[in-house]
Chain A
Amino acid sequence: MLELRDITAGYERRRPVVEGASLILRPGESLGLLGPSGCGKSTLARVAALLHRPDRGTVTVDGRTATGFRHRAPRSLRTAVGVVFQQPRLAADPRMRLRDLVAEPLRATGRRAEAAAAVAGLAERVGLGADLLDRRPHEVSDGQLQRACLARALVLRPRWLVCDEMTAMLDASTTAALVGVVEEYRADTGAGLLAVGHDPVLLRRWCDRTAHWKEITGPP
């Protein structure tokens, strides 16, 4: 289970962006969270990925309640949730070749030896050619870079995936391709998915169920 209970979060004191948001994801379930731009859904996505400490509320991943966020969260809990962001340009370290970008989580967790094989397999899976892996982010298109970012999110085989407007910058074909990759991964591993977005047509097609922002926030 991925459980967010009564989350209030923001970036300034007394000006919360998210107020009293709660949602529960069962193992293997996919939930599409719909909301207008600027409503705070990206902040909630960061909280769900243990990347932002909420002012109030708890996050529980597979029965373990997070006691800290970002670096204070235990590594095994942090890496249980993979995350893909809206803008691949900002989500990729501009100095790294795509190969290193995808392998970085393995190296960071001391699994350097698996990197070469894992990167090759994932590149194939997300549709990145071998020649693209040796380029840096400014040498590839948005779509190609987002493919690499998705591969990076999957390389540690997380049990949960948070996709924050993953396809907002992409054309129809790349959108369909990346959604296909996510669904293939979920079919293989039984991972759960929280997809945040503003396109009801896409999220209804993609996810088991969708919820509107208004339904999950406010007084419980």
Chain B
Amino acid sequence: MTDAAPALDVRGLSVRFRMPGGRYVAAVSDASFRLAPGSCLALVGESGCGKSVLASALLGLLPGNADTAGSAVLPDGLDLLGAGEAVLARTVRGRRIGLVPQSPAAHLTPVRTIRSHLEEAVRELAHPSASAAARGRRAAREAVRAAAERAAERAAFPASHLDRYPHELSGGLAQRAATALALIGDAPLLLADEPTTGLDRELVHRTVDELRAHTRDAGRALLMITHDLAAAHRIADTVAVMYAGRIVETSPADAFFGRPGPRHPYARGLLDALPERAFVPIPGAPPELGALPPGCAFAARCPDADARCRTELPAPASGVACHHA
């Protein structure tokens, strides 16, 4: 454990959805992790395992039929799960947590230029005009414009493309525009939700390298949610593997992707499924989040499972939730 106060401290975070007929769907169960400033945690898992719900919970964007439990605390003691909409909107989103979205082209308003997006964010979040306002409105406008250009430069977005509309940008440039927006509020924590989906390999590498530069070098923390293990390998210091709503393993990235390798059988299976490795799928299918088994959720697909696995939920111990680790 690091001594510095974590940029995000998540303990026992759970989310469930109330469904018609009094049923519950346990989307996230008892997730805990700490994210140190300047480090990157990659949350990996297949689609539908609950990782996007976790991100929504951190940003207060859950729908009305959700219940939460546990806590997610920022360095100043604010619990994201207990905070009201007003606090989240005015002091958290964009200011203390920057969001790098999944599909940037859809995240940007189609009828406005990138410059207008950036300037709006600057006016809302950065207030560079406060001192300039004394020197008149013209000076204030100049200050906003300059700040927007600096923001674009920081994300390596070319100044020549600032007056273009989102649909005129390639996938890579749209991603940079979205990253530039996320960085404007100078939030100490970045949350990237599947930032590389649909991008080709070279673009994935570039996006990931840029995100990494914005975090490690700038002392920010990054929580990246992804199903792309290659992207996770390239960026993460720590890997957290999620399965059926639970974090089943948290390991340093070097150990996870190199030696000694992953410790949880699901994580091992996931890595073995990569085309550069064995390319063998994990047999079977994940359980329904609305009808989880009493024991380990992976037991039905696990080569090592025994009677205990089927009846007793393994508690996380030194980063792995497995009876046989």
A and B touch in the complex (CB under 8 A): yes
- By a beta-carbon cutoff of 8 Å, the part of chain A in contact with chain B is 35-38, 86, 127, 129, 141-144, 168-177, 179-180, 198-202, 204-206
Q: Which residue of chain B lies nearest to A128 when distances are taken between CB atoms in the complex?
A: B285
The reply on B203 being an interface residue by CB < 8 A is yes
Residues of A within 8 A of B201 (CB): 198-201
Cα of A205 to Cα of B280 in the assembled complex, Å: 12
Query: Inside 8 A of A143's CB, which chain B residues have their CB?
Result: 46-48
The CA of A144 and the CA of B47, in the complex, are separated in Å by 9
Q: Which of A36, A129, A144, A179 contacts B279 (CB 8 A)?
A: A179
Given known A127-B285, A205-B279, contact A172–B271 (CB-CB < 8 A): yes
Collect the chain B residues with CB atoms within 8 Å of residue A180's CB.
281
Known A37-B200, A172-B229; contact A141-B281, beta-carbon cutoff 8 A: no
Other A-B contacts than A179-B279, A201-B201, 4 sampled, CB-CB below 8 A, are: A36-B200, A36-B203, A174-B281, A200-B201
Residue B45 interfacial (CB < 8 Å): yes
Tell whether B115 is near chain A: CB-to-CB under 8 Å: no
Question: Does any Cβ of A come within 8 Å of B76's Cβ?
Answer: no
Q: From known contacts A142-B48, A169-B47, A172-B229, infer whether A206 and B275 are also in contact, taking CB-CB under 8 Å.
A: yes
Number of A-B residue pairs, CB cutoff 8 Å, is 84
Question: When chains A and B are docked, how far (Å) is the Cα of A91 from the Cα of B282?
Answer: 25
Which residue of the partner chain B has the closest CB to A37?
A: B200
The answer to whether A144 and B285 have CB atoms under 8 Å apart is yes
Given A36-B202, A198-B200, A171 contacting B275 (CB threshold 8 A): no
Contact between B281 and A177, CB atoms less than 8 A apart: yes
- Which B residues touch A179, using CB under 8 A? 279
Q: Are A174 and B275 touching (Cβ within 8 A)?
A: no
Do the beta carbons of A173 and B198 come within 8 Å of each other? no
The contact of A168 among B46, B171, B197, by CB within 8 Å, is: B197
Q: How far is the CB of A27 from chain B (nearest CB, A)?
A: 25
**6 cross-chain pairs, A with B, having the tightest CB-CB distances, nearest first:** A141-B48, A198-B200, A177-B281, A171-B46, A176-B281, A205-B275
B276 at interface, CB cutoff 8 A: yes
Q: Is B38 an interface residue (CB 8 A)?
A: no
Partner of B46, one of A38, A141, A199, A204: A141
A-B pairs with beta carbons under 8 Å apart, 8 shown: A38-B170, A141-B47, A171-B273, A175-B275, A179-B279, A199-B275, A200-B201, A205-B276
> CB-nearest residue of chain B relative to A39?
B200
**How far is the CB of A197 from the nearest CB of chain B, in Å?**
9
Chain A residues contacting B190 (CB-CB under 8 Å) are: none
Would you call B202 and A171 a contact (CB within 8 A)?
no
B171 close to A38 (CB less than 8 A): yes
Instruction: Evaluate contact between B269 and A173: CB separation under 8 angstroms.
Output: yes
User: B274 contacts the other chain (Cβ, under 8 Å)?
Assistant: yes
**Beta-carbon contact of A176 and B200 below 8 Å:** no
Given the known interface contacts A143-B47, A199-B201, the answer about A173 and B171 at a Cβ–Cβ threshold of 8 Å is: no
A61 to B51, CA, bound (A): 44
Complex Cα spacing A205 to B275, Å: 6
CA distance A179 to B278 in the complex (A): 13
CB distance from A91 to the nearest CB of B (A): 15
Say whether B199 faces chain A, with CB atoms less than 8 Å apart. Answer: yes
Least distance between B25 CB and chain A CB atoms (Å) = 11
Q: Which residues of A contact B202 (CB under 8 A)?
A: 36
Closest to A172 in B: B273
Check if B26 is an interface residue, CB within 8 A of chain A: no
In the complex, what distance in Å separates the CA atom of A168 from the CA atom of B274?
13
CB-contacts of B152-208 with A (<8 A): 170-171, 197-203
* Chain B residues with CB below 8 A from A127, complex form: 284-285
Chain B 269-301, CB-CB to A under 8 Å as 1, else 0, gives 111011110011110110000000000000000
Question: Considering the chains assembled together, what is the distance between the CA atoms of A202 and B203 in angstroms?
Answer: 16
